[in-house]
Structure 1
Amino acid sequence: LNQLTLLIHFSLLIQFTLLIHFTCPSVCPPGGHTTEILRLMDSLSSVYTPRHYVIADTDRMSEDKIVSFESSRGRAPSDLQFSIHRVPRSREVHQSWSSSAVSTLNALRFCLPLVFRLRPDMVLCNGPGTCVPLCGAALLLGILGVKKVHIVYVESICRVQTLSLTGRILYRLADYFFVQWSYLRDKYPNAIFLGRLV
């Protein structure tokens, strides 16, 4: 995990606004993506402030976990520099592909103003579909010449032989695309493999 931290530090320098995205879809164990992203966050220095967490509006567990995590980092309540934002979920479990396109566009409608207002330096995400419109909004910021936002994608440790749908979508769009199994690195040559990160 220290290699990931060093790579992020060297590639993105320091003093960034960090926009974090995650949610916990019901297809994974309760809190799976949330647990993974918080483990990644635990390795990052406090210079990555303020932190903006983005969760799906139907996610009922992650907010408590985020607040608990941030409070446990040994800072006084007045020093906590994070916020939680809710956006519509891009795709529910077992939702049809055709209706997923509509719900993803709806999520993008909420992500665009959020990303344009926050203007993050980096988006760190790890798999749930809701990060697709968030990353799309971040890419649009760069296309329009407003700001280059670095996208760091860490595929879930659960993905051993194939990428998730979100991973397949973001594989060519992310600035840094991490996998946690050597098989995936061999299959996807642009992926970065540093071992288990979470």
Structure 2
Amino acid sequence: MGLDAFAAACCAIPVLASLLAVRFAYVLCRSGLPPTRPRAAGLRCLIVLGSGGHTAEMMNIITELQKDRFTPRYYVAALTDSMSLQKAQVYEKSLIQGEGEKIIKNAQFMQIYRSREVGQSYITSIATTLLAVLHALWLIIRIRPQVIFCNGPGTCIPLCASAFLLKVLGLGWSSIFYIESIARVKKLSLSGLLLYKLRISDQFFVQWTQLQQKYPRAQYAGRLM
């Protein structure tokens, strides 16, 4: 009986691997295409913020969104980055008139563990990276975002990778939009390079023509700042 079960398991592994390979190819082919059916309701939107200029750029992009279409909005920043979420909260409060200090119900603000702090040793970062990945996967499963916006902070990598994994497993579908920072003129950031090379993002935008020529699958979006 034990040998029969072992043999069945050995036969099932190649089948599962083949199914995953087919699903992976389908996700890559389907990525970037518009939805087959128009959505009447809002799209759950995950917005990844980062310290410094990343948040300033992202908030500039968010102000141009159709608020009734991209709702509810989930803002995510690193656990040690409190300023970014404060800026997002100020912006969401500005959308409300006559509601006092009440935070708009269509916006939520979350924090995620950072894979590696500045100056942290690479050995200890192994454990923190694993923790960040697990935390990111939990957030993606909990939120099930339909749209993800990010522009380069390292915290976007585990979030986008988790969303891509759910697509491959058929547990959800997120359209990932990556907008490279305007500070990147001649080469992509590490986050951008990973998402571009691994084809995780559905739409990849750059703000300089030099980058678009160097990375032909990227789309030139012009200056967004």
Q: Deviations along 1:51-91, whole A, 9 cap, x unmatched?
A: 00111000021121111111112454464411111111122
Distance 1:138 1:113 in 2: 10
Distance 1:78 1:146 in 2: 31
Task: State which of 13, 18, 21 in structure 1 corresponds to 2:48.
Answer: 21
Normalising by structure 2, we get a TM-score of: 0.75
Structure 1, unpaired ranges of 5+? 1-9, 25-30
Is residue 179 from structure 1 mapped to residue 206 from structure 2 by the alignment?
A: yes
Which residue number in structure 1 is paired with residue 60 of structure 2? 39
Which residue number in structure 1 is paired with residue 215 of structure 2? 188
Q: Deviations along 1:89-137, whole A, 9 cap, x unmatched?
A: 1222344555544432221110111110111101100101110000011
- Structure 1 residue 141, shift from structure 2 partner: 1.2
Does 123-132 or 86-95 show the bigger shift?
86-95
What SS class does the counterpart of residue 86 from structure 1 fall into?
strand
Distance 2:183 2:105 in 1: 31
AA partner of residue 191 (structure 1): A
Distance 1:37 1:78 in 2: 20
> CA 1:35 to 1:136, structure 2 compared with 1: closer, same or farther past 3 Å?
same
Distance 1:96 1:176 in 2: 33
- Structure 1 residue 173, shift from structure 2 partner: 1.4
Aligned pair count? 183
Q: Larger C-alpha radius of gyration, 1 or 2?
A: 2
User: Would you say the 8 A contact 1:105–1:133 is kept in 2?
Assistant: no
Distance 1:51 1:184 in 2: 30
- Within 5 A, what are the aligned runs for 1:81-96? 81-96=106-121
> CA 1:176 to 1:109, structure 2 compared with 1: closer, same or farther past 3 Å?
same
Structure 2, unpaired ranges of 5+? 1-32
- Within 5 A, what are the aligned runs for 1:1-198? 11=34, 15-24=42-51, 31-47=52-68, 48-75=70-97, 76=99, 77=102, 79-97=104-122, 99-171=124-196, 172-198=199-225
User: Would you say the 8 A contact 1:52–1:84 is kept in 2?
Assistant: yes
User: Would you say the 8 A contact 2:151–2:179 is kept in 1?
Assistant: yes
Distance 1:79 1:103 in 2: 33
- Structure 1 residue 11, shift from structure 2 partner: 3.7
Normalising by structure 1, we get a TM-score of: 0.85
Identity across matched positions, percent:
44
AA partner of residue 59 (structure 1): D
User: Would you say the 8 A contact 2:187–2:211 is kept in 1?
Assistant: yes
AA partner of residue 23 (structure 1): G
> CA 1:169 to 1:67, structure 2 compared with 1: closer, same or farther past 3 Å?
same
Which residue number in structure 2 is paired with residue 5 of structure 1? none
